[in-house]
Amino acid sequence: MEILFCVYAFIFGLCFGSFLNVVVLRGFSGESIVLPPSKCPHCKHKLAWYDNIPVLSFLILLGKCRYCKQKISIQYPIVELATGLLFLGLFYKFGLSLNFVFCAIAACLFVVMAVCDIKEKVIFEIHAYLLALLGLIYNFFNIPAETLAKVHFSLFGQMITINQSFIYSVLGLIAGVIIMEGLARIPKFFIGKRAFGEGDSYIAGALGAFFGLPNLIVILILSVLFQSLIVLPMYFYKLFKAKDFKLLSALILLFAMVILFKIGDYAGVFESTGFYFFSVVLLVLIGLYCCKRIFCSVKTENNPTYLPFGPALLLAAVVVMFV
Ligand SMILES: [Zn+2]
């Protein structure tokens, strides 16, 4: 019986994913979400219901439009499958509950924002506002119920009691925006431009409102980790192609030293304080050298490799949602 319900949740998610594709597509074209029936973006032929079955239609048609044989974007089945899996996982975790409903809606917004960011490098503010509002309501009624603590205070002589989770939610919203804006603006002092766009501040604020301040910190740390896993190899490859071997070797040396340092620390090599101090100074010096060269290269570069940070934030949010 339980398995049957999980299958329903998965299929429900697939259908929602199909709808999210329409939301993304029409978000860019400005068309209404409900009114015009789906059509092929190439030949504009109206699509029949059997061309719109999530994932299956894509597989049966071998990823090509039935009418004009143009390729259908792989984005469609991926979004459907991702939404299906998210719904399945959330249903498995929460069962049919308010928690499931709120997290499923949030997951839909994650998917839409991630796709918009990857596809066009845009975050629509409305999606972030919706997520923030959802998060404030979710925590106002303490639906996550991670803590049952309440906060009492008096306002105009009235005793007011609110859930602690709501305080965390408001703090998370403020902190998300301030932290990301701060990080984005630091490079302005050095290279005269922001590190990333305002979209990431919107996402971080909205995630803060949904998950609360303590979880937001975890999400931020995780997202940096995810982003590094993708960006670092790309950056190394770029340096290699640009033949910037000075910076490349300095960076490799830095990483090797950090790893050695960690291993040494673990194995208890640093018994003498002098040796420990010497290692730290060496590490900092190489780090500073790398920073200097990176700043110089970014300053002279017209077209730096830009990778949106939003998807990493949203991926981290999904991980925190399930853990
Ligand atoms: Zn077509």
Tell me the pLDDT of the chain (323 aa) as tens digits.
Answer: 688 999 999 999 999 999 999 888 888 887 777 777 888 888 988 888 898 899 999 999 999 999 999 999 999 999 999 999 999 999 999 999 999 999 999 999 999 999 999 988 888 999 999 999 999 999 999 999 887 888 888 888 888 899 999 999 999 999 999 999 998 888 788 777 787 788 999 999 999 999 999 999 999 999 999 998 888 888 888 888 888 888 888 888 888 888 888 888 888 877 788 888 888 898 899 889 888 887 777 666 654 556 788 999 999 999 999 98
Does residue 102 belong to any structural domain of this protein? no
Does residue 315 belong to any structural domain of this protein? no
- Pairwise CA distance, residues 316 & 111, whole Å: 13
**Are the CB atoms for 188 and 194 separated by under 8 Å?**
yes
Neighbours of 4 (CB within 10 A): 8
**Are the CB atoms for 150 and 171 separated by under 8 Å?**
no
CA 264 to centroid of ligand 1, rounded, Å: 61
Does residue 276 belong to any structural domain of this protein? yes
Does residue 248 belong to any structural domain of this protein? yes
Does residue 294 belong to any structural domain of this protein? yes
Residues with CB under 5 A from ligand 1 (ion): 40, 42-43, 65, 67-68
Does residue 43 belong to any structural domain of this protein? yes
Nearest of 231, 233, 193, 242 to residue 307 by alpha carbon: 231
CA 66 to centroid of ligand 1, rounded, Å: 7
CA 112 to chain CA mean position, Å: 11
CA 47 to centroid of ligand 1, rounded, Å: 9
CA 107 to centroid of ligand 1, rounded, Å: 30
Q: Indicate the number of domains in the chain.
A: 2
Does residue 270 belong to any structural domain of this protein? yes
The DSSP letter of residue 71 is B
CA 76 to centroid of ligand 1, rounded, Å: 15
Instruction: Indicate the residue among 33, 65, 96 that finishes a domain.
Output: 96
CA 85 to centroid of ligand 1, rounded, Å: 28
- Pairwise CA distance, residues 154 & 159, whole Å: 4
pTM of the model: 0.84
CA 42 to centroid of ligand 1, rounded, Å: 5
- Pairwise CA distance, residues 239 & 249, whole Å: 10
Does residue 202 belong to any structural domain of this protein? no
SS3 64: strand
What do you get for the CA distance between the two ends of the chain, in Å?
25
Supply the range of the domain harboring residue 87: 1-96
CA 51 to centroid of ligand 1, rounded, Å: 11
Give the side-chain half-sphere CA count within 13 A for 61: 26
Residues with Cβ < 8 Å from 190, sequence gap 6 or more? 295, 299
Nearest of 128, 178, 137, 140 to residue 317 by alpha carbon: 128
Instruction: Indicate the residue among 55, 75, 96 that finishes a domain.
Output: 96
CA 298 to centroid of ligand 1, rounded, Å: 42
CA 21 to centroid of ligand 1, rounded, Å: 17
- Pairwise CA distance, residues 61 & 63, whole Å: 5
